[in-house]
Structure 1
Amino acid sequence: MSSASDFEKQSQEHVESMDPLDPLAVTALTTEHHEYLMTRHGSVQLDPLPSSDPQDPLNWPNWKKNFEILLIAFQTFSSTFMAAGLTPGFEPMAEAYGVTVPTASYFTSAQIAVMGGMPLFWVPLMNIYGRRPFLIFSTLACAALNIGGGFCTTYGQQMATRVLVAAFISTASAAGASVVADLAFSHERGKKNGWWSLALVVGTPAGPFFTGFIQQHAGTKWIYFTFAIMNFIQFALWLLAEETVYVRNRRNSVSASPIAKFLGFHKKSDKTFAFGLFFRPLKQALNFNVSMAVVAASVTFCYANIVLVVEMPQVFGLLFHLNAQQLSLQYIALIIGSIIGEILAGPLSDWWMARCIKKRGGKKVVVDRLWVSYNGFVLVIVGLIVWGIFLDKAKPGDWKISPLIGAAIAAAGNNIVATVLIAFAIDCDPGYASDVGLYMNLVRQVFGFLGPFYFPYMFENLKFGPSAGLMCALVAVFGAGFMGISHLIGLRRNK
């Protein structure tokens, strides 16, 4: 969940734009167009090349662009915040609904699965009809559902609200980089994508960190009401926002009623809807390198993120007899580890690739990037071993920080692996970057969804140390091992 949409950092396929800038495009500019761009941007060397229309999102004032990007970052943050934020309430909800704590954890795992699949549905629709109407409706729907969640009296009712919330809130994870690509030039996208991608990563541990205090002092009902307040604020802000989908090769006037035009419910794009758009990302399964990266990233994500977030109440809460507020503080380790991993992954990967390209005389070999991923695999394995061994040594009620150090190391490694493998997978098929990302997100989230079904039984029968050893072996074989195979094949092809 922490990196459920990192792939979008490099996905620009669905952006409505002119062809990339070239000398012929510059010389073909009219005098008026040239003068407008020089006045507005101080240059015509821009990619993509904006039109001379002030309504073109690329021509908007910087404050307006930043508002839109920060707004999508806020909603992206809330998607993982709300899914993971239920963990401090697992025990009281289990008691209220007459189920076990592991069964209550399915509230989070079900949302993980839904957020993996629903972007396949939302992306084609949002590319054609615009992003704003879907984002407006989704936040209002989530606000209503979260209010209902506060009044649910049965397990089935609550599961229904959680699944529906995940279905609607996933519009944000589907639209993150699309909004950035609509608003930012190519040289700005790295920094601007970093805003929402970091929000997505931090949302996973930040959810239970904050809701633990709410659970302790106000009760489970107010966790849902807090979610609803967040959604309603987002709804109000999206009403103030504007549509970012803009086609530069035609006039963007549309025939629609004033209300429909205000809410955005009319076609924005020249693209033709086809049901095949929903299934096209699954074709990436035929790409060997992409599939190997998807498996490796999915296994690592499950055992270095999902297990640490979802099982925290059942592991630390029960072992050390922590209340909801004390339990929430345990997630600080994951927040710190995730941020460190995200900071290390991107710059190190870019520096390493630049070095390799220079060493090869200007030739880019995509598998060179994989060298950096092994650092992440090592950190994940080391972190899980420390986490498992020290949990086995811990005495009930005698809290120790040692397992959390291991969790932080594993979280850092997970972010390194995710960032590097996503970049590698997209490099393998850059023409279909969005499809690659959606395929990876689907597999990763579904695999993560399955984990909570067997995690409790694994820990009960194997204990924490041997369980950590088993997870490390899976990461080593299906993570580092699979990427090693792709690496060797790629190097041989480029000799």
Structure 2
Amino acid sequence: MSPDKLDLDEKHQSLEHRENSAAGTIIKLDSTGLPLIPQPNASETDPLNYPIWLKLLILFQVSILAFLATLNVAIVNPAVVLLADEFHIPQVTATYQTTVAIGTSAIGPLLFIPIANVYGRRPIYLFTLLIGFASAIGSAEAKSYGTLILARIFNGSGAATAAVLGAGTISDMCYMHQRGKAMGLYTVMLTNGGHLAPIIGGYVARSHGWRWCFWTGAMLNGAMLVICVFLLPETIYTRPSSSYDEALADLVKNDELDDAEVKELLKHGEIYHSPPFSLWTYFTRLKLWDVSPERHLKPRHFVVKPLGMLKYPSVAIPALFYGVIYGFASIEPALIVTTLFTRIYHFDTVQNGLANGISLLVGASLGELCSGPVTDVMMQRARRRALGQGKTAAAEVRLHGIWTGAITVPVGLLIFCTNKYVPDFASWFHRSICS
């Protein structure tokens, strides 16, 4: 038999198999008629079926936790001069406690995220909040710079876990086409915690000293720990494999389908409506951990598997891009502004906090709030175009949103480094809000 004949027979058998599969399966569609990805299970405990009020409540809490993670690290930055004077160390050395907290923030996720993927998000949120609370108290009560460094090691590693874990929680309860808006709000809070921190820390340090910067972080972490105990349900869920029919899997894998096959698949779909959600389900999802026989914790999950994702260019390149941009646009100013502006312009802690936080706060808020809706629109448009061609849109479509930041961040750094009016603006803003 000729190869062409074999190809035709295989295509015919594939089409017949897909049609038979689709005939027995109802593909769940969103309100616009597109397949829901992932496909929800008809269970109240599936986070995709959580009511909108609960999803918003969870999103608000994980966003606040992300905010606290970066706030805890940066809140003392305007007061490094006061800290250096008390411990009789150089001002540059006093910034190392922030550098250490940022550096160790890479350790916590590698340790705790694999555990969260097996035993649930909720216990890790609560445990890392406890670490943040205790380490903030330790930082506030430190009697030597070495003790402060040790406390900051735990402060950075524990707080960062909650910040990273929030993205997984959003993926648990949001469909693919909804994640842009949710991640936009979440990233606003994650990014701006470090930008609002010096403004808060500047006023706190001027009134009560640098130690009260850490006491403020401790009180906020303690309050969120109590709130999350009662209001943050579990979102991890092992979705049965039967909920993914073979026909939809073909779409997700971006297999080649012709128009007839796509129309045949969508013909067997219907608009999905979530099952009613009961208060009892809410309380059952507040248990301390969620154990499933289908989830197993293995040693390679801790370092090998997370770092193994770097073999994918769509992961490695955006990660490198974000690290460079965030480092130069956010972390570097946080570490150098206080020392330089105190020496050159004789700023106090409040003026240093305003100079450090205002521009970053406004810029990051505008960028993140716009990026979520824009990338959602990009994804929906790409999905419609791809379905018309018998394909599905790849998640990497969202990466086209990085081009704006790739241009504006370097331009903003050049303006900041050459603009002599930055200190004058900080002084004017301080006088305006105090008058």
Structure 1 length as normaliser, TM-score?
Answer: 0.63
Map 1:34-73; keep pairs closer than 5 Å. 46-73=36-63
Q: Distance between the aligned counterparts of 1:313 and 1:304, measured in 2?
A: 15
In the alignment, which residue of structure 2 is the partner of 1:201?
Answer: 191
Q: 1:269 to 1:107 in 2, by over 3 A?
A: farther
Q: Which residue of the other structure, out of 327, 331, 345, is the alignment partner of 1:302?
A: 327
Query: Is 1:401 aligned to residue 421 of structure 2?
Result: no
Q: Distance between the aligned counterparts of 1:156 and 1:287, measured in 2?
A: 40
Q: Distance between the aligned counterparts of 2:192 and 2:118, measured in 1?
A: 30
Which stretch has the larger CA shift, 183-192 or 313-322? 183-192
Q: Distance between the aligned counterparts of 2:376 and 2:177, measured in 1?
A: 14
| Contact 1:147 1:224 (C-alpha < 8 Å) held by counterparts | yes
Query: Is 1:100 aligned to residue 125 of structure 2?
Result: no
1:64 Cα shift? Answer: 2.2
In the alignment, which residue of structure 1 is the partner of 2:164?
Answer: 174
Q: Distance between the aligned counterparts of 1:328 and 1:387, measured in 2?
A: 16
RMSD in angstroms over aligned alpha carbons?
3.8
Query: Is 1:378 aligned to residue 407 of structure 2?
Result: yes
Map 1:349-368; keep pairs closer than 5 Å. none
1:305 Cα shift? Answer: 2.1
| Contact 1:356 1:368 (C-alpha < 8 Å) held by counterparts | no
Query: Is 1:88 aligned to residue 112 of structure 2?
Result: no
Please give the secondary structure, in 1, of the residue aligned with 2:105: helix
Q: Which residue of the other structure, out of 209, 219, 224, is the alignment partner of 1:219?
A: 209
Map 1:34-433; keep pairs closer than 5 Å. 46-240=36-230, 241-249=232-240, 264-265=288-289, 267-268=291-292, 270-278=294-302, 279-287=304-312, 290-330=315-355, 331-346=357-372, 373-391=402-420, 399-401=423-425
Amino acid at match of 1:242: P
Q: Distance between the aligned counterparts of 1:368 and 1:239, measured in 2?
A: 37
Please give the secondary structure, in 2, of the residue aligned with 1:191: helix
Q: 1:198 to 1:369 in 2, by over 3 A?
A: closer
Q: Distance between the aligned counterparts of 1:402 and 1:262, measured in 2?
A: 45
Residues 425-476 of structure 1: per-residue CA shift (max 9 Å, x gap) = xxxxxxxxxxxxxxxxxxxxxxxxxxxxxxxxxxxxxxxxxxxxxxxxxxxx
Residues 246-290 of structure 1: per-residue CA shift (max 9 Å, x gap) = 22339xxxxxxxxxx975246346222111122123234444565
| Contact 2:177 2:376 (C-alpha < 8 Å) held by counterparts | no
Q: Distance between the aligned counterparts of 1:334 and 1:140, measured in 2?
A: 29
Please give the secondary structure, in 1, of the residue aligned with 2:424: coil
Point out the structure with max Rg over C-alpha. Answer: 2
Q: 1:195 to 1:156 in 2, by over 3 A?
A: same
Task: Quote the sequence identity (%).
Answer: 25
Q: Distance between the aligned counterparts of 2:23 and 2:96, measured in 1?
A: 55
Q: 1:26 to 1:188 in 2, by over 3 A?
A: farther
Q: Distance between the aligned counterparts of 1:351 and 1:379, measured in 2?
A: 22
Aligned residues between the structures: 359
Q: 1:313 to 1:133 in 2, by over 3 A?
A: same
Please give the secondary structure, in 2, of the residue aligned with 1:400: helix
| Contact 2:120 2:236 (C-alpha < 8 Å) held by counterparts | yes
Q: 1:74 to 1:348 in 2, by over 3 A?
A: closer
| Contact 2:180 2:373 (C-alpha < 8 Å) held by counterparts | no
Amino acid at match of 1:102: V
1:108 Cα shift? Answer: 1.4
